[in-house]
Amino acid sequence: MSSTKSQQPQSFAIEVALVLAIAFFLAFILPLLLSDFRLKLVGRFLALAIAALGIDLIWGYTGLLSLGQGIFFALGGYGFAMHLKLQLPEGELPEFFTLYGVKTLPWFWQPFHSFPFTLISIWLIPMIVAGLLGYLVFRNRIRGVYFSILTQAMLVVFFNFFNGQQKLINGTNGLKTDTDTLFGVVMGSDTAQKFFYVLTVLVLVGAYGLCRWLTQGRFGRLLIAIRDDESRVRFSGYNPTSFKTLVFAVSGALAGIAGALYTVQSGIVSPQYMEIALSIEMVIWVAVGGRGTLVGAILGALVVNLARSLLSEKFPEVWLFFQGALFLLVVTVLPQGLIGWLRKALDRVLRMWGYGPHATTYPSLEEDLEQQHEQQNLGH
């Protein structure tokens, strides 16, 4: 007991140091090694990793498979893009409005003139939408596959709505942000893109810290408990609805932030972000990386997307087959994902060198205190 207490702060310090070192490498060393084009790709993938963290919270820890994260992702992206579209001289409307004969700015665009409002809205609006949707669903005890179907149905509803509203948000064309300016800097310029790359790294670190805090303590254990046996949680006196709603809202907020950062780095937000395929891919990243481990979610998002960009450059036709095969491989051979596999391999190496936990043949015997005492004092 006392030994674990003294080890905890130490391992915590090691983890903080490790995270900061990786963040430093990503933010300041990697830009020196990669071309601007590649760096932009990595920046986008890091943004996607933030969304993957959210999925890990709701699916990996709490056991609720959400297939609708694209809603929140796109909402965050649209929020930021709308603010950028409004960086115009007084009285002018964004260009696309004139195509459809719109003379006055729709009411819901108005608050996006304000930069602070935009900064808050890119996570708060998805959070509220997720929280409301989650509350209604969880209060009625909709679980398992029904929850997944419901989130996917919501996704389709949002997709069709955004797709059809030319006069409100330019419909299927989406909002392009590359030529817009923010504080006088053109969004597509190298300066702006470098800035957003570093910002993405920092936000990812923050998101990781938040998820780490949420999952380490009693709250995190309750999420696992809800995943393992929800009615037991209920009969122990907890109301799972509030826990699930909060987690779903947080995962929505993370997806929103991810969407905003992804949008500015790809130069466009469009209803495509709410296509069913993207939301399912997000789940695949987490499964490949290893669900229930935060590092796994980040790693999965990066590895799958890097593989995609490398493979689709060389063999544009095979990527989808490869992605399907990857998912099948993980599900059948590596149920714990890459992280689980790495951990096992590390354990094996450590054991080969005589470190690490040793396997007990008869745990009840070998862990018996009397038995240990006898072994130490009477043996040989």
Partner 1 sequence: MSNKILVTEDLTVNFDGFKALNQLNFSINVGELRVIIGPNGAGKTTFLDVITGKVKPTEGRITFKQHSNLRQLSEHQIAQLGIGRKFQTPRVYLNLTVRENLQLSCHRPKTVFSALLSPPSKAARQTVQGLLETIGLVLSADKPAQFLSHGEKQWLEIGMLVAQSPDLLLVDEPVAGLTDEETFQTGELLLSLAQSHSIIVIEHDMEFVRQIASHVTVLHQGSVLCEGSMESIQADPRVVEVYLGQTPEVA
Q: Which residues bind partner 1 (CB under 8 A)?
A: 214, 217-219, 221-222, 224-225, 227-229, 231-232, 234-240, 242-243, 246, 363, 367-369
Nearer to partner 1, 189 or 239 (CB): 239
Least gap, CB of 54 to partner 1 (angstroms)? 17
The DSSP H or E segment spanning 29 is none
Give the count of beta carbons closer than 10 Å to the beta carbon of residue 95: 12
Least gap, CB of 345 to partner 1 (angstroms)? 21
Least gap, CB of 53 to partner 1 (angstroms)? 17
Least gap, CB of 200 to partner 1 (angstroms)? 27
Nearer to partner 1, 110 or 360 (CB): 360
Least gap, CB of 223 to partner 1 (angstroms)? 10
Gap between the Cα atoms of 102 and 93, Å rounded: 9
Nearer to partner 1, 27 or 249 (CB): 249
Least gap, CB of 212 to partner 1 (angstroms)? 13
Distances (CA, A) of 1 to 151, 163, 302, 327, 350: 44, 58, 38, 41, 24
> Using an 8 Å Cβ cutoff, are 244 and 34 in contact?
no
Nearer to partner 1, 2 or 35 (CB): 2
> Using an 8 Å Cβ cutoff, are 261 and 167 in contact?
no
Instruction: Please write down the HEC assignment for all residues of 204-247.
Output: HHHHHHHHHHHHHCHHHHHHHHHHHCHHHHHHCCCCHHHHHHHH
Least gap, CB of 375 to partner 1 (angstroms)? 15
Distances (CA, A) of 90 to 62, 79, 262: 48, 20, 28
Gap between the Cα atoms of 145 and 147, Å rounded: 5
Nearer to partner 1, 242 or 375 (CB): 242
Give the count of beta carbons closer than 10 Å to the beta carbon of residue 70: 30
> Using an 8 Å Cβ cutoff, are 240 and 234 in contact?
yes
> Using an 8 Å Cβ cutoff, are 299 and 250 in contact?
no
Nearer to partner 1, 225 or 257 (CB): 225
Nearer to partner 1, 6 or 191 (CB): 6
